[in-house]
Chain A
Amino acid sequence: QSALTQPPSASGSPGQSVSISCTGTSIGTYNYVSWYQHHPGKAPKLMISEVTKRPSGVPDRFSGSKSGNTASLTVSGLQAEDEADYYCSSYTGNKDLVFGGGTKLTVL
């Protein structure tokens, strides 16, 4: 199963909004799309599940959406602590799981 496609990097200044895209055919077929925040040396943290659902404790500055084969994670009101690697992941229907290559978000 091919990996999902993410831009390698994204950036924004504090207070701005930034969106990260994730493209793949499984995204257009299923709604089990999740986004993870990963600070080096820490456990990946679920930020968005099932395209748009925000787990308890995740700030509402983080939101998810989907259009066709592309899902997006939007971070509004950027803060310094949002600087991390972000990964998307999707159910494939084929007894496996795929991840995007990751996007390094830099807060300028």
Chain B
Amino acid sequence: EVQLVESGGGLVKPGGSLRLSCAASGFTFSLYGMNWVRQAPGKGLEWVSYISPTSSYIYYADSVKGRFTISRDNAKNSLYLQMNSLRAEDTAVYYCARDSDPGMVVVIPPGYWGLGTLVTVSS
């Protein structure tokens, strides 16, 4: 069974940093592209970032470009999101999401999602 478990969320002051993690199990992690998607309180889903299976292709939403860094460790079956220069508008539940099919290197709608971790940016 595919499992994605996010962690690392919490309360941080504006301008601060946070590192999110996503632990993957139940599939061969190194074969799948991964995404971070967020949902602000009362709002819809917003794609944040994508990383291809071997980290060769990395993409970001304009709203986080230059501030967030996605990475992965295939040996540890883990996905990460380093978030710097955080703003109030970054407050959201952050979801880790896996591609439906292996070997994709373009950003297509994901197939599996975790439960998310809440990030609150407030003074």
Q: In the complex, which residue of chain B has the Cβ closest to the Cβ of A41?
A: B115
B111 touching A101, Cβ below 8 Å: no
What is the number of contacts between chain A and chain B, taking CB atoms within 8 Å?
A: 68
Tell me whether B107 and A87 are in contact (CB under 8 A). Answer: no
**Interface pick from B21-29, B43-51, B82-90:** B43-51
- B17-40 residues with Cβ-Cβ distance < 8 A to A are 35, 37
CB-nearest residue of chain B to A100: B44
B95 & A44 in contact (Cβ 8 Å cutoff): yes
A52 within 8 A of B: no
Taking a contact as CB atoms under 8 Å apart, the answer to whether A91 and B45 are in contact is no
**In the assembled complex, which residues on chain A have CB atoms less than 8 Å from the CB atom of B114?**
43
Kindly state whether residue A72 has any CB partner on chain B within 8 Å. Answer: no
Which parts of B81-123 form the interface with A (CB within 8 Å)?
Answer: 95, 97, 100, 106-116
- Residues of chain B at the chain A interface (Cβ within 8 Å): 4, 35, 37, 44-47, 50, 59, 61, 95, 97, 100, 106-116
Q: What are 15 A-B interface contacts by the 8 Å CB criterion?
A: A34-B109, A38-B45, A42-B115, A43-B114, A46-B100, A46-B109, A49-B109, A55-B100, A91-B108, A92-B107, A96-B59, A97-B108, A99-B47, A100-B44, A102-B45
- Going nearest first, the 7 A-B pairs with the smallest beta carbon separation are A34-B109, A97-B47, A89-B109, A102-B44, A99-B45, A43-B113, A95-B59
